Amino acid sequence: MPENLHSGEQFVPRFVLIDVYRVSFPRLVIEMNMRIFLLTALFAAALSLFASCGGGGGGTTIAPPGDINEIEAYGFLSGGKVVRFPRGGSISMYIEPGDSVTGFLPAFTGAAKSNMLKWNEIGSAYGLFSIGETSNSQTCAIYVKWVESLGGNNAGRTSYRTQGTTLLLPVLIELPTHINGRQNNSGTIGLAAIHEMGHALGLWEHSSSSNDVMYPIASRASFSQRDINTIYKLYNTPTFITSYGRGVSSLKPAPETVTVYSTDNCPACGLHFD
């Protein structure tokens, strides 16, 4: 019984009342039925619009993870270990000024930032992580550095350091202003940036499919279903890391007690220039 009815009153469903009206007031019934039909149609349309906007949250709609075993050679182990940030945490990213680097263009910063932050589409959808920019280079979790060249056709490099089971922050991403001796451009910077951010988040291996952002030749700026599956599986897999510290800066030579891993040990991340 509905809460707004007093005890002893009989509850009569609305559709029964409409049937009663039909007997005495045919025209009124038709008008009421039309109004109900229109209201129902408007309500359905509103629900459809709400769903298409991602439940009212706006932004890009991210498909739910599919078969999370569908990752093929696209793994996330680094030396047999899972190395990533804590699930559900905030990850601060610092992009250093590049004015002093030969070949740097102001547009590079925006291209790198916008593409790196695309990972929030997946991170926010599943509560995996939240990446945000910071102006503090001393406390950031990810440091983006501009370099004149990484040699050959390398378009990006990501490295991290560990001391025991401690991940020493920041994780370092390097982006070059020149590739194969030629001036880099914002398009290539953006493609490399989204790929390198995948490494920094813990996707240390490459994909064998050119449809994935993590394919070794940076060529995608949007996520495939397998990209989604893999980062989701990564952040639902226990990590080797037990703590996060700042004992040794990633920007300085590492002592013997510190283990360094770099994507230089993987196939080159880069674009071929014809």
3-state SS of 186-229 is HHHHHHHHHHHHHHHHCCCCCCCCCCCCCCCCCCCCCCCHHHHH
CB hemisphere CA count around 78 (13 angstroms)? 27
Neighbours of 144 (CB within 10 A): 27
Q: Between 3.90.1140.10, 2.40.70.10, 3.40.50.720, 3.40.390.10, what CATH number should domain 77-265 receive?
A: 3.40.390.10
State pLDDT tens for residues 20-37. 223 334 444 344 444 544
pLDDT digits (tens, 9 = 90+) for 181-197: 999 999 999 999 999 99
Tens of pLDDT along 60-118? Answer: 445 555 554 454 445 667 777 899 999 999 999 999 999 999 999 999 999 999 999 99
Amino acid at 120: N
Asked if residue 241 lies in contact with residue 164, where contact means CB atoms within 8 angstroms, the answer is no
Higher pLDDT, 217 or 96: 96
Q: Can you list the alpha helix ranges (DSSP code H) found in the chain? A: 14-24, 26-52, 107-116, 120-126, 186-201, 225-234
Contact (Cβ atoms closer than 8 angstroms) between residue 155 and residue 182: no
191: number of Cβ within 10 Å: 23
> pLDDT at position 204, please?
87
Q: What is the pTM (predicted TM-score) of this model?
A: 0.72
- 141 close to 173: Cβ distance less than 8 angstroms: no
pLDDT interval class at 167 (50, 70, 90): very high
Give the Cα separation of 196 and 156 in Å (integer): 6
- Which pLDDT band, with edges at 50, 70 and 90, does 169 fall under? very high
